[in-house]
Amino acid sequence: MIDKDCIDIYNFNYDNLTIHYGCKEGKSGKFKIKIVDNKTNFIIHQELMDGSHGLRFWTNFGYCKNFIYDAVTVTFEVDGAKILEQQYMINSTPPNHAFLGFCCDQDLELYSYHEIFCDNVYSRYGVSLEENDMVVDIGSNQGAFIKYALSNKASTIISCEPNPHCVETIRKYYGQHSKLTLNQCAISDNNGKTLLQIGRNSEKTGGGKILKAQANSPDYYADGKTIEVETITFKNFVKKNKIAHIDFLKVDCEGSEVFIFIEENAEFFRTNVHKIALEFHNEQKDDITKFLRDAGYEVHVDHGQNNLGMLYAKNTHFNKAVVAYPPEKAR
């Protein structure tokens, strides 16, 4: 049984930001580790652990060492109740980044913000978001790309996110912007309803995928919750939002990308979409690559492990002044 005396922190490595911890002998059960940046209140890392009888764990969060303002707080929780807390001073000289004046309520995960603003994952191979771009964000999660688009002075941002907790967070931090349109739904192969699987570490901040989608991370969804959400096809999403063209299409929807790059949308992509940055989640990335090259795009693929990675595409004959058909006449 996990209680307030069950966790031991064995070591903290300040060089690579690795913490070693575990359950004391004779203790067992589920607990959560959460690491928070003290300045911005971003959640650097959180994970649900299943500990037992002296089992030891380690967590590394070195990816964000140059982001942390000064100190972090490491907290261990059981059923939302704090059982152990420890602070660590990381940087004596504060870094300079885009979030020094930003503070959240410990309800935003840093990772997606870090990869967008610090690692520039949506600005590679000549595919980048420019001022006055019309942006569509499929899989907005907690709004990191929305903030990025706002920071780059996009003219319009149309968001698609099925997780109601994430939509609530987006409204909280970015809902005041008139150029943002939120759609609480998931892209699928039909209009209707389905179940959304939410990552096990947090229903409010974790990613989610619909049951039909194949994403090569089954452990991430093990023991996670499911909720019913609305679904819409990409063609009808375009029609509903009266989208005549897209300057920058960002896609990160945990396997549902396969429902976007299909024949019924081919003409729209050939003439109405300029730049695409896509995170893919299964082996059908090859079909998407062929679809886009056949439609006249230059495509670059950054391969990761287990059919996870990024795809960047730029339409070689896109002309904003000429569109195939206005959205109200979408076929």
* pLDDT band, residue 237 (cuts 50/70/90): very high
Query: What pTM did the predictor assign?
Result: 0.91
Distance CA 331, CA 322 (A): 17
The overall average pLDDT reported for the chain is: 90
pLDDT in tens, 105-123: 999 999 999 999 999 999 9
What confidence score (pLDDT) does residue 322 get?
A: 62
Place of tokens 């064995």: 10
State the average pLDDT over residues 91-117.
93
Whether pLDDT at 327 is above 60: no
What confidence score (pLDDT) does residue 217 get?
A: 67
* pLDDT band, residue 254 (cuts 50/70/90): confident
pLDDT in tens, 192-220: 999 998 876 666 666 788 888 877 666 67
What confidence score (pLDDT) does residue 282 get?
A: 83
* pLDDT band, residue 170 (cuts 50/70/90): very high
State the average pLDDT over residues 264-273.
97
State the average pLDDT over residues 122-149.
97
Single-letter code of the amino acid located at 278: L
More confident residue, 98 or 267: 267
Angle at 143 between CA 159 and CA 283, to 5 degrees: 75
Whether pLDDT at 328 is above 60: no
What confidence score (pLDDT) does residue 205 get?
A: 62
Most confident of 5-9, 113-117, 302-306, 307-311: 113-117
State the average pLDDT over residues 229-246.
98
Q: Specify the length of the chain in residues.
A: 331
* pLDDT band, residue 29 (cuts 50/70/90): confident
* pLDDT band, residue 3 (cuts 50/70/90): low
* pLDDT band, residue 283 (cuts 50/70/90): confident
Whether pLDDT at 317 is above 90: no
More confident residue, 97 or 25: 97
What confidence score (pLDDT) does residue 196 get?
A: 92
